[in-house]
Amino acid sequence: MGKQEVYRLDRTKRFRIWLARNCKRWPILLWASLVFGVVWGMQVGSQSATFVGVVEYPKYSVSAEQEGRISHISAEVGDRIRVGEPLVKIDNLRTEIALAELRERSERDARDAYRQFFAELAGVRREIRDLSLKRATEEAELIVLREESERLEALLERRLIDVETVSRNRIRLNVSETLVAEYPNLLAELEAEKQELITMRESYLVKDSPKRDRLESLLLEQRDALSLKANRSGLVARVLKREGDVVRSGETILELVEEKSPVVRAFLPLSSQQLVEEGDEVVMRFSGHGAQRVFGVVKSMSPTVIDVPDTSNPIMSRTISGRILTISLPSPTDWTEGQRLLVSLDTAEPSALRTLVANIFSKMRNGGGEI
């Protein structure tokens, strides 16, 4: 049996042998750790959330100002409305009754006034006619008396009659001449009275007109106040009442959507509320590939927390607490009322590693250069 030699390895060589035997897969682990570190470094500080929003346009309602019955609605859903355009006509029973009673009373008073006027005018005309007949009679009698007086004077000269007979005839003649002389003045006075009646006819018939006109004007203004007009331009979104319906004061009849830039209202869960503040920028897009992205700004957050049902799990019924975000758009859009879209938040501050990697890829695309 030959002589055996024993070689003793020092500590450094033993460690190298152990390392070679047990660390054959270290390059793979090293590369995996490097990739993980790069990804982690790029995502450091990244916090994002995505939730659903609904497109809303500014709305205003057209409501009844007093109780009444809708007699006419001149707008339909989808109609474009301009400022001042009449929308709804409402009749108030009390106002209509008051107007009808006022007009009936006015017509009755007018008939009574006409009747009284024409009665007085007919009386004056009758007096003129009677007086004219008397004048004609008196003038005829005067002619007869004058002829009789001439005949009697001739007889008196021949002393065929006495003086007393001639005196009586002279008295009758003087009275008749006096009466005939007064008739023109009396007829002139009656004609003047008739003309005065005709001249004062309008004021005579409508002597209560100012007071009645004021009352009718107030009632008409009250009735016109019930007719609702648009105080802003927009589109008719909903018609809540029909013709013939009775509405109370303050009850909504129409809902209009203003033609302005819409806002987006979204439900933000409490678990994500620390990610967003007023003034933050968000990205919005409709579902589907290739959908255009639109940027908006968080305008406000509801001060109170609300609960909404969670429909993601139909088996377990639960609610999610959160707040309502109002997101404004920088420019008008052609979005439709009620459309749903996805709202994304990204509050990540770009890390130095992420910026470095982005610069490297940018320089590589641009053909190299100093990083």
Quick: pLDDT tens for 307-332. 877 776 667 777 888 888 888 877 66
Who has greater pLDDT, 316 or 175? 175
Report whether 305 contacts 284 (CB < 8 A).
Answer: no
Which CATH number fits the domain that encloses residue 330?
A: 2.40.30.170
In a domain, 147, yes or no: yes
267 and 185 in a single domain? The answer is no
**pLDDT at site 194:** 83
In the 8-state DSSP scheme, what is residue 88? E
281 and 319 in a single domain? The answer is yes
Mean pLDDT, rounded, for 355-367: 55
113 and 196 in a single domain? The answer is yes
- The residue behind tokens 């203003």 is 258
Q: What is the pTM for the complete model shown?
A: 0.42
114 and 203 in a single domain? The answer is yes
CA distances from 198 to 37, 108, 123, 129, 186 (A): 113, 21, 13, 17, 19
- The residue behind tokens 């109780």 is 67
**pLDDT at site 369:** 46
**pLDDT confidence band for 348 (50 / 70 / 90):** very low
In a domain, 322, yes or no: yes
Mean pLDDT, rounded, for 272-283: 80
- Find all residues with CB under 8 Å of 44, minimum gap 6, and list them: 351, 353, 354
80 and 127 in a single domain? The answer is no
Count of H-run helices and E-run strands, the chain: 7, 15
Domain count for the chain, please give it.
3
Which residues make beta-bridge pairs with 60?
A: 256
Who has greater pLDDT, 117 or 46? 117
Residue 265 has pLDDT above 80, yes or no: yes
% of the chain residues with pLDDT over 90:
0
The helix/strand/coil state of 329 is coil
In a domain, 363, yes or no: no
Which CATH number fits the domain that encloses residue 234?
A: 2.40.50.100
Report whether 69 contacts 186 (CB < 8 A).
Answer: no
Q: Which domain holds residue 272?
A: 43-58+260-349
CA distances from 350 to 69, 174, 279, 284 (A): 64, 135, 19, 21
| pLDDT per position as a tens digit, 118-131 | 888 888 888 888 88
| pLDDT per position as a tens digit, 64-94 | 777 777 878 888 887 888 888 888 887 766 7
Going 23 to 26 to 29 to 34, the CA torsion angle's sign is: positive
**pLDDT confidence band for 342 (50 / 70 / 90):** confident
199 and 164 in a single domain? The answer is yes
108 and 183 in a single domain? The answer is yes
In a domain, 8, yes or no: no
**pLDDT at site 197:** 79
Lowest model confidence (mean pLDDT) among 71-80, 154-163, 202-211, 336-345: 202-211
153 and 83 in a single domain? The answer is no
108 and 175 in a single domain? The answer is yes
**pLDDT confidence band for 45 (50 / 70 / 90):** very low
**pLDDT at site 67:** 76
In a domain, 344, yes or no: yes
